[in-house]
Structure 1
Amino acid sequence: MSPESEGTDASQDEAREVLYRLVDRESGAVLIAAEDLLNYFVEEDREPPETVTFVRTHQVGRARRKTGEAELRVVDRQGRTIGVYYLGRVCAAFRHELVASGADRPDLDYSFGHTCEYPRAGDIWRRWAESRPVEHGEWARHPSDWHESWLHVVQTAWFDSGRNATRYGTGGTAVIDGSGFTTRDGFYCALGEAVNGPGGYFGSNRDAVHDCLRTMRRDGAAPFRLVWHDFAASREALGGDFTDSVLSLFEGAGVETELSPE
């Protein structure tokens, strides 16, 4: 193997380890690339941290210490962007000239204007960086307090991949297992998967479901039938007012529903 090919292979191996890139939106320059991120995905009521830490950095852009138009990109193992967060103003909390080079991969801090209030999103992005979900029910294998973060990742990845809020070429019947969730976030995870397949999106709240149904009809997507298994369990967990309001949305959009007690 030639030295040139060895260098290419090494750079590809490094790229497969990168999960986050901090990018200047105006120039497109990568300010920093790293394997992980600390203190960005945090609890909603947590005091915002002073800095966000990029863990094991692979690239440090020396052109700018700060920018007013930054975005954080989540990338998969092939280096493709799978999610984007607009940050606005960011500032390096370190001196570039003191950053070690080579294989040390330092942890470096940046000051962000805000954080992401979905605490499990970082763990889920790491899973999605390996491959998008291809099996039904992966979200349901996580505890219920993960479902809000899973739904956030689904929605972010959905729109950043260029998809619209509509139904795509899936089967004519969408099936929801009402025994698989106990929260409204879990219901929306189940609905998105039922309508658009694993990792699919079909709304993250009632208004968003309405928008998806309206967009589906506008785009001429094929109608579908909704089968809701164990509906009684869903009604008990989510509340009658909520389940009735969701059913009225489907009825208004001409979606046939079948409510199964088991």
Structure 2
Amino acid sequence: MCVEVWDGEQPVQWWTLVDAVVLACQPHPADPERYDIVLGAGVRNEEGFFGLPVRPRFELFVGTASAGRCSGVDGLFRPRADPAPVPMELIGCEPAEPLLAALRRPRRSERDWASLLVLDRHGAVMASHLVGLAITGARPSVLGGTLVDITLTDGGDDRPSPATRPIWAEWYQGPPAEPNLWAPYDSRGRDAWLDLTTRAWRMPAPRPDRSGGEHHLDGRFVTDAAGLHCAIAEALLGPGRYFGREWNSFKDCLSGGFGVTPPFTLTWRNSEIARRALADVVDDPKDGRSYFEDIVRLLEQSGATVDLR
């Protein structure tokens, strides 16, 4: 969930509630049409700390959809300690400039940042990770030779989870050449798969879009939103390709510049699996459409013919 703090006609602060769970809910004492809700959640402040406006208004969002508003929020405006940095070990480094300079003067590099590129066995970039060059220590590598092992003071907060290791191992052999290799993973694993398709998508020059024809979507494994986008991208472009990872980016892809653009026909086999699995996934509570219905409607509004089977 996202909580926006409004001052007059504009939002001045954004808070993200991570893994939010409703702990209690009861009618508001002064207005039975309203509710007092207690949430348990991790809290992340997306903007600087402004403090509470004189007459604040609080807007709630789930994804991009409005989830209502409330007259007061307690528990957000309080000091929170930053989490301690988690070091990162770089094993078997063959340093070049400017890393050598950072090793000679580690204190001067505390504010320097570098991109750590993850390469597959063919040398293509699979992923990238931003790391700080504040160095805690360096020593001869356990791998021997002239290599060195380096400890970075802070390895950043967006490093991949251990659950992504088998997915990275699969992509390390090269971009996937077979369909449905993402299917055995859970939703978190499928999100990691989409991360790699997003980063692997590089377009040095605009590619001509293809229109027309019929594309076949294998819906046997579409049991969540991430799986839906994995399957649609494979149907339109092939395994390991990118064609959006949520509603907004999917809409952008349908507008052109990503290899395929409507009009075309999408034959969606076993579509009932996605319809049932995504029946309770609703981005906009006001219109009540499920995520499956929203995607089908977006395709049709963009000029595609969707044949649900």
Please say if 1:257 is aligned against 2:306.
yes
- CA–CA distance in structure 1, aligned partners of residues 85 and 219 of structure 2: 38
CA 1:238–1:221 in structure 2 vs 1: closer, same or farther (change >3 Å)? closer
Deviations 1:120-160 (A, max 9, x none): 3343233222111011111113344411111111111114x
AA partner of residue 94 (structure 2): Q
Identity over aligned pairs, percent: 26
CA 1:242–1:213 in structure 2 vs 1: closer, same or farther (change >3 Å)? same
- Structure (1 or 2) with the greater strand fraction: 2
- CA–CA distance in structure 2, aligned partners of residues 144 and 132 of structure 1: 20
Q: 1:84 aligns with which of 128, 150, 153?
A: 128
Task: Tell me if structure 1 keeps the 8 A contact 2:191–2:226.
Answer: yes
- CA–CA distance in structure 2, aligned partners of residues 220 and 232 of structure 1: 25
Structure 1 match to 2:26: none
Please say if 1:139 is aligned against 2:182.
yes
Larger radius of gyration: 2
- Unaligned 5+ segments in structure 2 are 1-18, 20-41, 43-82, 280-288
CA 1:243–1:122 in structure 2 vs 1: closer, same or farther (change >3 Å)? same
- Unaligned 5+ segments in structure 1 are 1-43
Structure 2 match to 1:200: 241
Per the TM alignment, residue 108 of structure 1 is displaced from its structure 2 partner at its CA by: 3.7
Could you say what secondary structure the match of 1:141 adopts? coil
Name the Cα RMSD after superposition. 3.3
AA partner of residue 229 (structure 1): R
TM-score by length of 1: 0.67
Task: Tell me if structure 2 keeps the 8 A contact 1:173–1:225.
Answer: yes
CA 1:167–1:248 in structure 2 vs 1: closer, same or farther (change >3 Å)? farther
TM-score by length of 2: 0.58
- CA–CA distance in structure 2, aligned partners of residues 220 and 191 of structure 1: 12
Per the TM alignment, residue 103 of structure 1 is displaced from its structure 2 partner at its CA by: 4.1
Report how many residues are paired: 210
- Structure (1 or 2) with the greater helix fraction: 1
Could you say what secondary structure the match of 1:139 adopts? coil
AA partner of residue 129 (structure 1): Y
Please say if 1:230 is aligned against 2:274.
no
